[in-house]
Amino acid sequence: MKLRLLAIITLIASVLGFAPAHAAETRVVTGVSAFVRVDLGYMVGWTVPADTKGITGYTVSSNTGVKCAANGASANKCIFPIASLGYVNAYTFTVVANSATGSGPASAPSNQIKYASIPYAPQPPLAKITSDTSMDIAWVPDPNDGGAPLYGYRLTVWEMLPSTDPGAVAYNGIEVKTNRSVTGLKPSTMYVINVQSCNAYGCNSADKWTYISTTGPKGLSPLKAPRVISGGSATTTCWNAVLDGGNAASTGATVTKTGNACPGLVIDPAKYPKIVPTATQMVSAPLATKFAQSVGFGGWSKTYSMKEWSKTGGNNWTAYFSASTKTPVLGFTIEPVITSATPAVCSIDGRWVKFLAPGECVLNGSVGGDYVWLPSGIATSKFTIIP
C-alpha cells in the first residue's frame, strides 16, 4: 500500500510540473582560459553552459585554493588582483556553476599562466670604432628576463645632435646575440647607442646610453658626450672615486680617488637569458575562450575651429582612442583602425585627423583580435568643426 501511495504522489507531482526537491547541479562550464598582465591582474574567462536557467553565478578556484566569485548566470570572467596570487607561482584555474541546489562539477583546468613583466635592462653597451664608417658594439645582458623568454635585444644607433634629442637613426634592429657590427656610418660623427632587452611584455633599456665618435678627415666629432654622475650609497654602489659636493657655503667640490678599484662586471654567459625569436606573444597559443575587449574615444571637445586646429596639421588620434589591449608599456598591441564616416568634413591621414570643411566630423574606431582578445565592436565619436 505504501509503495502504491508513493507512486501515486510521484505521478501527481510529475503531472503538475513539480521539480524534484534538491536535485544536484550538474551543468559544467567549458573553455576555461587564463591570462595575466601587470595592469589587468589574473584574468579567467569561460564559456557558460547552453542552459543557464537557475544559475546564480560562478566560482573560480586557482590550483592553490584562492577563489574568485562572479555573480549572474551570464557572467563569463573573473579577475584576481595580482597581490592575491603573487608573482612567483604558475597557476591553473577551474570554474563551477552555482545554483540554489549547490555547485556543479568543476570544469577542466585552464591553461597554465605565470606572472611576467618587462625584462631587466642590459648593462650600458660597449663600442669600438673599427673604421671611419663602422663600429663594433657588445653588451652584457641582465639574467632577469622578467618571467618570459626574450625574443631579442633592440639595438638602436642614432646620430647625436647638439643640445637636443638624438637625430637620424643609423641602425635599428632586433639582435639574438649580444654583439653587432654596424656599418655605413658617417665619418667624424658622434653617435648615441642604446640596447634594450625585449620580451612579449615590452622592452627595457633603463636609459643606459653610450656615446662614441667615428674618425675621418675631420678627426673626431667636435660634439661632447654628456657626463652623468649618479647617486647611491656605500651598500649599493662601488665608487672608483668619491665626489664631495660640499654644502651650501662651499665654493667648490673635491674628487678623491678610492684605495681600491671597483671590480669589473662579470656575468657567466651560461646565465644569460634564453632567446626565443618567436616569443613575441604573451601566450603561445590561442585561448580556448578569448576575452571581449572594449574600445572608446575620449578627450574630444564638442567644437573645434578649423582655422586654429588646422595650423597644427591635425591632432594625434592615439591620444583620444583606447582599447583593452593597449598596455602602459607597449601601447597598442593590436593596431587600431580609425576611419572617418564624413570624409568631406574630416579625414584620417596616418595617425592624424585632418579638418577639411565645417560640419560634423564622425570617427569610427575598432581593434582586431589576437590569441587572447576577440575583435572589438566599433566606437564612434562626433564633434563639430566650425570655420
CB within 8 A of 245, min separation 6: which ones?
253
Shortest CA distance to 53 belongs to which of 28, 27, 73? 73
Domain assignments of the chain as residue spans, ordered by start: 22-114, 126-233, 295-386
Q: Going by DSSP bridges, is the β-strand pair 209-213/241-244 parallel, antiparallel, or unpaired?
A: unpaired
Q: What is the pLDDT of residue 230?
A: 56
Asked if residues 153 and 178 have their Cβ atoms less than 8 Å apart, the reply is yes
Domains 22-114 and 126-233 share a fold: yes
Asked if residues 60 and 68 have their Cβ atoms less than 8 Å apart, the reply is yes
CATH topology of domain 295-386: Immunoglobulin-like (2.60.40)
Distance of alpha carbon 299 from alpha carbon 319, whole angstroms: 8
Identify the residue whose cell numbers are 665619418: 187
Neighbours of 188 (CB within 10 A): 15
Determine the 3-state secondary structure of 208 from DSSP: coil
pTM > 0.75? yes
Q: Going by DSSP bridges, is the β-strand pair 336-340/359-367 parallel, antiparallel, or unpaired?
A: antiparallel
Shortest CA distance to 102 belongs to which of 14, 186, 26? 26
- Length of the chain (residues): 387
What is the separation, in whole angstroms, between the first and last Cα of the chain? 94
Instruction: Phi first, then psi: give them for residue 182, nearest 5 degrees.
Output: -115, 130
Q: What is the pLDDT of residue 22?
A: 58
Q: Dmax over Cα atoms in the chain, in whole Å?
A: 117
Distance of alpha carbon 195 from alpha carbon 88, whole angstroms: 27
CATH topology of domain 22-114: Immunoglobulin-like (2.60.40)
Distance of alpha carbon 51 from alpha carbon 41, whole angstroms: 29
Give me the CATH code for the 126-233 domain, please.
2.60.40.10
Tens of each residue's pLDDT in the chain, 387 residues: 444 444 444 444 444 444 444 579 999 999 999 999 999 999 999 999 999 999 999 999 999 999 999 999 999 999 999 999 999 999 999 999 999 999 999 999 999 999 999 999 999 999 999 999 999 999 999 999 999 999 999 999 999 998 777 899 999 999 999 999 999 999 999 999 999 999 999 999 988 899 999 999 999 999 988 776 555 555 555 666 666 655 666 667 677 777 777 766 677 888 899 999 999 999 989 999 999 999 999 888 899 998 888 777 777 788 789 999 999 889 999 999 999 999 999 999 888 899 999 999 999 999 999 999 999 999 999 999 999
